[in-house]
Amino acid sequence: MAQENRASKVPFYTFGTTLEEQEKQLKANPMLKRFDDSRKELAKDHHRPTYHYVSPEGIMNDPNGLCFWQGRWHLFYQGFPPEDPRVHWGHAVSTDLIHWRDLPYAIYPNPEDRVYSGTTFVEKNRVIAMYHGVGSGTMVATSTDPLLLNWTKLGNKPVIPIPKPGEQLPYNVFDPAIWKKGDQYYSVLAGRRPVGPGGKLVRALFLFRSPDLANWHYLHPFIENDGYGMVGDDGACPYFWPIGDQGKYILLHFSHMSGGKYLLGDYDQVHDKFIVTDGGNFNHGPMLPNGVHAPSAYPDGKGGINVIFNINEGKTDKTWGRIMTLPRLLTLDENGKLLMSPTGDIASLRSKKVTVAETTLPANQEIVLRAVSGNALEMHAVIDPKDSPTIELNVLRSPGKEEYTRILFYKNGGFWDRSEAKNVQYSAISIDNSTASTLEGVRSRVPETASVFIKDGELIDLRIFVDKSIVEVFVNGRQCVAVRMYPGRSDSQGVSIQAHGSGATLKSLEAWQMDNLFAKP
């Protein structure tokens, strides 16, 4: 029986093999002209971010295959071209993880119906992409050219096929991650197993091994001692890699229930098992609306992991919707706990700067910071909470407070960690977007609230990124919360601060207006 032809209707281009040839061809490429025209038109939407990456046309879903190749970062993502809105891998390139340059679609469907999520593995002479091909199975494609423009699918068929009708397999065929140990390739496929309470489905990853990328042998379920997921979670969009200098590994993944997540642990390379010792969330509520979605990651070469997520929309928009977060650097502290901070050359986007000197915050009095205003801002605030149980920062605030987004720090207001003999009290960071918009059809999110460890007497150090319809807040390099919101008023650009219950001190605040990420080369 002949295989169904699922060829894409999107124009396809073949490029030269040298950087000089490719750059010359890209200058005349009609797809890039189309992207440029589309970006100019979509930029008229006042909710479209300035310095967070968004696809040049159409809606966008998971980031995929983040990698570093020949001096450049490559970001792939699920794109939906207008003439054939099945998922293709979109493509952007950067030298600094911040200024992205659009490239033509990289991987097209056929024989698969849609090109879904996956990861890349970089070898000396090629980049390997392993991804889920809807309707076919696990696909492998390779590229060797300077800008990763030309991709060849291995055998033009799935290397791990989906089950045939009526076929029962001991594993799921879904999103893959790939790495190499010795002369063997390894991959985990995401999925679930009915081994939870009462036979309910719980997260699982299924391990495969191959000598040549074409022939894969199933080994066994990969995760042991996993107590960090919700019943019903799956392990979609996985990425597995060593982190830090303590022999630990991290498994980044996504749940279609609870968004972006991670597991930390030990890689038993004798039995090929991942022994989980810790875990947590990048999204701290339901996946939808406005929540942090799937990760794509790649090592920074110094023991850390660079990761980018997409973040969901909170209003219906068929022209564009989901966007990418800023890149985050994940590292471990001396106790093996996950640290996270913004990374990439963010400073290159800064323009006009405003500084707020040390300011006393009387109890229960909102102070509007008149000098600070904008809807595309970076702010660095250092606060001494003293005895105040709650510090509130409002951003995207209209003058009459018809619209405002609340950032709240709760001193000692997080979970108690009672997992070891010495109990530890955490603080909490929260973003509440329930008052962010007066527009009809905008959905609010349950306040996004995450625990964060703050030592006794430690100042609160906040990195706050406001960009039209997203706010990301990094706390003391240990936690990050991110939420979408859609102010309806053009004057919703103010900033205010308040100490609840007892006085506090704003030690310092720096704020920068941020340029468009496409404004500079």
pLDDT tens figures, 233-256 = 999 999 999 999 999 999 999 999
Angle 94-290-469 from CA coordinates, rounded to 5°: 60
The CA–CA distances, whole Å, from 312 to 22, 147, 260, 325, 445 equal 34, 29, 11, 10, 11
Per residue in 155-192, pLDDT (tens digit) is 999 999 999 999 999 999 999 999 999 999 999 999 99
How far, rounded to the nearest angstrom, does the alpha carbon of residue 287 sit from its chain's CA centroid? Answer: 13
Any domain includes 359: yes
Question: Is residue 7 included in any domain, yes or no?
Answer: no
Amino acid at 169: L
Q: Let me know whether 238 and 366 are in one domain.
A: no
What integer best gives the mean pLDDT of the chain? 96
Could you tell me if residue 8 is inside a domain?
no
- The predicted structure's pLDDT at residue 341: 98
Of 373-382, 401-410, 416-425, minimum mean pLDDT range: 416-425
* 338 shares its domain with 360: no
Question: Which of 322, 342, 362 marks a domain boundary?
Answer: 342
Q: For 273-307, how does the pLDDT look when each residue is reduced to its tens digit (9 = 90+)?
A: 999 999 999 999 999 999 999 999 999 999 999 99
Residues 138, 173, single domain; the answer is: yes
Confidence of residue 421 (pLDDT cuts 50, 70, 90): confident
**Dihedrals phi, psi of 154, to nearest 5 degrees:** -65, 115
Same domain, 484 and 387: yes
Is residue 202, in this structure, part of any structural domain at all?
Answer: yes
For 404-493, strand residue ranges (E) read: 405-410, 416-417, 424-425, 427-432, 448-452, 460-467, 470-475, 479-484
Reported residue count of the chain is: 521
- Does the pLDDT of residue 140 top 70, yes or no? yes
Is residue 519 pLDDT above 80, yes or no?
no
pLDDT > 90 in the chain, percent: 95
Other Cβ atoms less than 10 A from the Cβ of 227: the count is 9
pLDDT at 521 over 50: no
Instruction: Indicate if the pLDDT at residue 316 is higher than 90.
Output: no
How far, rounded to the nearest angstrom, does the alpha carbon of residue 447 sit from its chain's CA centroid? 19
Q: Which residues lie below 8 Å from residue 495, measured CB to CB, with a gap of 6+?
A: 368, 369, 372, 373, 377, 379, 393, 394, 395, 397, 511
Q: Taking Cα atoms as reference points, which of 196, 194, 227, 192 lies closest to residue 206?
A: 192
Confidence class of residue 520 from pLDDT cuts 50, 70 and 90?
Answer: low
Tell me the one-letter amino acid at 509: L
Number of independent structural domains in the chain = 2
- Whole-number pLDDT of residue 319: 85
| Same domain as 490, residue 385 | yes
Q: What is the CATH number of the domain that holds 501?
A: 2.60.120.560
Q: Are residues 281 and 363 in the same domain?
A: no
d(CA 441, CA 316): 8
In a domain, 14, yes or no: no
- Note the pLDDT of residue 2: 45
Token pair for 417:
């960690």
Task: State how far the Cα of 77 lies from the Cα of 60, in Å rounded to an integer.
Answer: 7
Contact 7, 110 (CB under 8 A): yes
Where does a domain end: 316, 342, 368?
342
Any domain includes 480: yes
Contact 150, 141 (CB under 8 A): no
Tell me the pLDDT tens digit for each residue of 17-65. Answer: 999 999 999 999 999 999 999 999 999 999 999 999 999 999 999 999 9
Considering the domain architecture, whether residues 308 and 375 belong to the same structural domain is answered as no
Q: Are 478 and 463 contacting, i.e. CB atoms less than 8 angstroms apart?
A: no
**Residue 248: how many CA atoms within 13 Å on its side-chain side?**
26
63: amino acid identity, one letter? P
Is residue 1's pLDDT more than 70?
A: no
| Domain at 132, CATH number | 2.115.10.20
- Angle CA 239–337–420, to nearest 5: 120
Residue 129, in any domain of the structure: yes
In this structure, the answer to whether residues 307 and 387 fall within a common structural domain is no
Dihedral in degrees, nearest 10, Cα atoms 124, 126, 130, 131: 140
Please say which residue of 342, 367, 384 terminates a domain: 342
Q: Which domain holds residue 28?
A: 19-342
Do 223 and 323 fall into the same domain?
yes
Query: If pLDDT is split at 50, 70 and 90, which confidence band does 518 have?
Result: confident
Cis peptide before 289 (omega within 30 of 0): yes
Q: Which of 213, 145, 147 is nearest to 178 (CA)?
A: 213
372, 335: one domain: no
Cα 249 from Cα 275, distance rounded (Å): 9
The pLDDT tens digits for 199-231 are 999 999 999 999 999 999 999 999 999 989 899
Same-domain check for residues 176 and 203: yes
Residue 297 inside a domain? The answer is: yes
Please, which residues bridge with residue 103 across strands? 91
Share of the chain above pLDDT 70, in %: 99
Q: Render pLDDT for 448-498 as a digit per residue (tens, 0 to 9).
A: 999 999 999 999 999 999 999 999 999 999 999 999 999 999 999 999 999
Q: How many CB atoms lie within 10 A of CB 76?
A: 29
Same domain for 116 and 221, yes or no, is yes
Q: Distance (Å, rounded) from C-alpha 380 to C-alpha 164?
A: 55
CA distance 63 to 322: 11
One-letter identity of residue 95: T
